[in-house]
């Protein structure tokens, strides 16, 4: 019997570094498509829409479509829509976040919002932060698309969403709810987007604190690649480990058998049932 499996794939450090494609990443994605294996690119960057992300990947030679992209902005907007349909938000972020909120029925306002939603942004001002602080004190809930403290750029490092959130938390005394990796909110949404069970899902990433931690907490198989910010010697510093460590995803394209060996071995009895009627018939 053929065992189903699918992949959640981080991008920066796994598929590309900055504006440079990681050698072999294009061949890996083509191998997934040829084997009809479902996959999603998972990103904690809320700046771009999924269409923008797909276009960037295509220009790098990656055969991506919009349906292959899942951002923390999308996860955040869907989560808020499930919590308070047709709500309002004050946004500190860029178009990827605003568009996702609009798509999910949210209005963006500049006074009395239900939520203050924070994503990545290169145009954050002290005035925006002061406005957000007062909104939170007045009762708006603080939501973070992710808690990454910084973002690598072609010229160095700039503050990330987590740094902005830390400012607001310190000023208000309220803690933010983060939806992006490693939050189970985003990790579960992405799995369900592919229609997979827990035992069928493999997370590939280059960061122990987000990609691998998120996968481990969800019970997914995890693969750490060393083409990004993590070195092999770093792994032993953590209380959890990936199931596999490779230099890059090129190893799977170069050796198809290794890709085929990436079969989840978790207990399938722990999977949530896809059939509600079957679940109701299961003895308690």
Token pair, residue 97, equals: 């976040």
Residue 181 · residue 212 · CB < 8 Å: no
Helix 72-83 vs helix 95-103: crossing angle, to nearest 10: 40
Which residue numbers are catalytic? 10, 12
Q: Which ranges in the chain belong to alpha helices (H)?
A: 25-34, 50-59, 72-83, 95-103, 126-137, 161-172, 184-194, 213-218, 250-254, 256-261, 276-281
Is residue 202 within a helix (H) or strand (E), and if so which, with residue range?
strand 201-205
Q: How far apart are CA 259 and CA 204, in angstroms?
A: 12
In DSSP terms, which residues pair with 225 in a beta bridge? 246
Residue 220 · residue 203 · CB < 8 Å: yes
């Amino acid at each position: 019997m053929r065992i189903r499996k699918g992949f959640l794939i981080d991008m920066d450090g796994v598929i590309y570094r900055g504006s440079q494609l990681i050698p072999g990443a294009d061949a890996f994605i083509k191998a997934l498509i040829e084997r009809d294996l479902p996959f999603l690119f998972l990103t904690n960057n809320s700046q771009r829409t999924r269409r923008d992300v797909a276009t960037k990947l295509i220009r790098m030679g990656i055969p991506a479509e919009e349906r292959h992209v899942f951002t923390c902005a999308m996860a955040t907007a869907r989560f808020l829509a499930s919590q308070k349909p047709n709500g309002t938000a004050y946004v500190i972020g860029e178009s990827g976040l605003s568009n996702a909120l609009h798509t999910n029925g949210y209005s963006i306002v500049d006074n009395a919002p239900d939520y203050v939603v924070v994503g990545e942004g290169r145009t954050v001002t002290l005035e925006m932060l002061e406005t957000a602080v007062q909104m939170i004190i007045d009762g708006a809930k603080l939501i973070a698309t992710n808690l990454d403290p910084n973002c690598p750029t072609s010229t160095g490092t700039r503050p990330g969403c987590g740094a902005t959130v830390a400012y607001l938390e310190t000023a208000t005394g309220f803690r933010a709810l983060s939806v992006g990796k490693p939050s189970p909110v985003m990790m579960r949404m992405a799995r369900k987007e592919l229609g997979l069970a827990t035992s069928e899902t493999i997370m590939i990433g280059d960061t122990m604190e987000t990609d691998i931690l998120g996968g481990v907490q969800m019970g997914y198989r995890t693969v750490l690649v060393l083409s990004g910010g993590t070195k092999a010697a770093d792994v032993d510093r953590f209380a959890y480990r990936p199931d596999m460590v490779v230099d890059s995803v090129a190893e799977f394209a170069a050796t198809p058998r290794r890709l085929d060996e990436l079969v989840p071995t978790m207990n399938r009895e722990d999977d949530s049932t896809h059939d509600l009627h079957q679940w109701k018939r299961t003895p308690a």
